[in-house]
């Protein structure tokens, strides 16, 4: 489906923004791969007739991250475990709660893909980020980007004297339905 030029507002009502983590280290079997939902976010996709006028801006609140599930590990991840992880994210991972992405280039590659380059700001550090969005037949928009935490001065969480660590690269994914322009 080719997306028509226009302004599209996205957020939790139109889709999901999530973070997927992995684990490394000698004790990786003990940990969990996490699926974390971002509960407070908003994005604006502007597609102009002239591609140079297209842009994407996304704001997310790091304090709104909620652990949805943990897979793997020696034991299942309970509600108390999820709450403790959320507390750790708030206390030890993010120095600020504001997350922002601003595109510098948005190009409709064809009727089914949009290529995006821009700047992601986490913890007050801004670095470039590139990703693609796929456009489905019914206006579904999906894509993901690999974010290497250390590029943004985030030390991946570790425990057991470093034997269990969250992998440096996490995947940030969006799955949303485009509203009518």
Please name which of 100, 1, 103 lies closest in space to residue 45, comparing C-alpha atoms: 103
pLDDT of residue 43: 97
Query: 47: how many CB neighbours lie within 10 A of its CB?
Result: 22
Domain spans in the chain, listed from the N-terminal domain onward: 6-177
Least confident of 25-29, 53-57, 143-147: 25-29
* Local confidence band at 50 (pLDDT 50, 70, 90 cut-offs): confident
**Does domain 6-177 sit in CATH 2.40.128.110?**
yes
Q: Provide the whole-model pTM.
A: 0.90
Q: Write b or e for each residue in 99-115: b if 16 or more Cβ atoms lie within 10 A of its Cβ, otherwise e.
A: bebebeebebeeeeebe
pLDDT of residue 2: 66
Rounded CA separation 176/89 (Å): 25
Radius of gyration of the chain (CA): 17
CB distance 139 to 177 below 8 Å: yes
pLDDT in tens, 90-126: 888 887 678 999 999 998 767 688 899 999 999 889 9
């Amino acid at each position: 489906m080719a997306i028509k030029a226009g302004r599209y507002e996205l957020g939790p009502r139109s889709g999901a923004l999530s973070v997927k983590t992995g684990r490394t280290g000698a004790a990786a079997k003990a940990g969990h791969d996490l699926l974390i939902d971002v509960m407070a976010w908003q994005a604006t996709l502007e597609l102009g007739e002239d591609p140079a006028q297209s842009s994407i801006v996304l704001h997310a609140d790091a304090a709104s991250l909620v652990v949805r599930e943990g897979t793997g590990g020696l034991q299942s991840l309970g509600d108390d475990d999820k709450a403790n992880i959320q507390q750790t994210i708030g206390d030890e991972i993010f120095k600020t709660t504001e997350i922002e992405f601003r595109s510098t280039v948005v190009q409709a590659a064809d009727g089914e893909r949009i290529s995006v380059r821009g700047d992601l700001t986490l913890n007050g550090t801004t670095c470039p980020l590139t990703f693609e969005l796929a456009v489905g037949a019914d206006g579904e928009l999906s894509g993901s980007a690999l974010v290497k935490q250390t590029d943004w001065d985030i030390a991946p969480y570790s425990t057991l004297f470093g034997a269990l660590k969250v992998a440096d690269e996490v995947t940030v994914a969006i799955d949303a339905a485009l509203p009518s322009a």
